[in-house]
Amino acid sequence: MAKKTPSRFQREDGETVLMSDEDIIDRIFDHIDNGTTDRGQSSWKEPTANYLSADRLDQELAVLRSRWTVFCPSSALPKSGDYIARDAAGIPLIVVRGNDGDVRAFRNACRHRGVQVAKGHGCTSVFVCPYHGWSYGTDGALRSVPHGDGFPGLEKESRGLVSLGCVEKKGLVFVRQDTDQKEGKGLLEIPDLIPDGFRVVTSAALEIEANWKLHLESALEGYHIRSTHQTTFFPVQYDNLTVVEAFGENSRIAFPYQAIEGLRDKPKSKWSTNGRVTFVYHLFPNVIISTFPDCMQVVIIEPLELELTRQHMFLLTDCAEGGEALDAVFKGQEFAAKGAIEDRDVVVSAQRGLESGANVFLEFGLFESAIGKFHGTLKQELEDTAS
């Protein structure tokens, strides 16, 4: 096994948390030559009841509200007035970039009768409630009330949109809903994942008829590559070959392409994972960031119901508009989308299998250690939130 050397990603105490390209490629070659892959120290058995219990889902949503979670990439809100309105952990929110350039988050509810004041995404200087016309600035302040004389004593200063914790960090926008708690987790030990100059070129939302954890799990292991992706990812990648790293409560999984063999005869100083490895970053609990040649995808996985999940997808690149490089990015994403459809099919099938009652637990083996880490961390978070 190749020796692990200092990485460009380090905590303040100097401890290495992610390997360099050279180290990753060394380890991949080691696995190719020996027919091996990274393994965890133990398997994990997750009770199927944890996928089927409404009470458990309520507890998981409470975890999502109690901590800092990714809402969108910063570049999804490039201009003043740009906003995204969607549900997060079951709560309707608005995130908007103000005239001062700061990004803010609010509960999406008019302070008169609670109607949502924004839908979807767009750009505006004012949010107007469609029910009675109360309006709010991008700073959340209540600006006007039609026929205001009907509300004697109304204190506009205290009736703005209800604000939430909102932070831009590492090219991502984080929101925290339960701001009354003393502290929130989720901002530590995140490396610079979004390169400078990357912008959002497409965004979309898709619903999957399965529990959110089943959907998340499908991204965190390469054990299924050969069986599930026989005509898509498998001819490009390898059967059950990944490098798995942990950084804090998060994970990074490296999926090498067979094109990596082209680096065998090149000096290590010329080694690069670009175009030869897909990195999947799991930011606990519900965000997947995947790298592809000249682009990356940010996916936020939102639980809607026990058997219904919505994923919000953002494709980012620094390729110039209208150029061949951007065309190649879109073509590559068409290929990746075929594999994603295959993943969704097996995830929905797994949901049906849960409901059959055949299993009392799902077992994640040594090759699926990032999934075991996810469930172990979630279990601890549930215990901490309940205490």
DSSP conformation letters of 218-267? TTS-STTHHHH-TTTTTTTS-TT--EEEEETTEEEEEEE-GGGGGGTTS-
pLDDT tops 60 at residue 1 = no
Overall average pLDDT of the 323-344 stretch:
95
Expressed in angstroms, the distance from the first to the final Cα of the chain is 42
Structure tokens at 18: 């992610």
In the predicted model, what is the mean pLDDT of residues 93-115? 98
Q: How far apart (Å, rounded) are the C-alpha atoms in residues 383 and 387? A: 6
Check whether 187 has a pLDDT greater than 60.
yes
- 251: closest CA among 347, 359, 378? 378
Helix (H, G, I), strand (E, B) or coil at 363: strand
Give the rounded percent of residues in the chain with a pLDDT score beyond 70: 94
Cβ atoms within 10 Å of 41's Cβ, excluding its own: 7
pTM recorded for the entire structure: 0.93
Backbone angles phi, psi at 272, to 5 degrees: -150, 140
User: For residue 27, what are the contacts with CB-CB under 8 A and spacing of at least 6?
Assistant: 1, 2, 19, 38, 243
Q: Which two tokens stand for residue 287?
A: 């965000």
Q: Binning pLDDT at 50, 70 and 90, where does residue 5 land?
A: very low
Q: Say what the pLDDT of residue 297 is.
A: 97
- State which H helix or E strand residue 63 sits in: helix 54-66
The per-residue pLDDT for 333 is: 94
**Chain mean pLDDT for the chain:** 93
DSSP 147-176: TGGGSTT--GGG-SPPEEEEEEETTEEEEE
pLDDT bucket at 384, cuts 50 / 70 / 90 = confident
In angstroms, the CA 256 to CA 102 distance is 38
pLDDT tens digit sequence for 207-247: 999 999 999 999 999 999 999 999 999 999 999 999 999 99
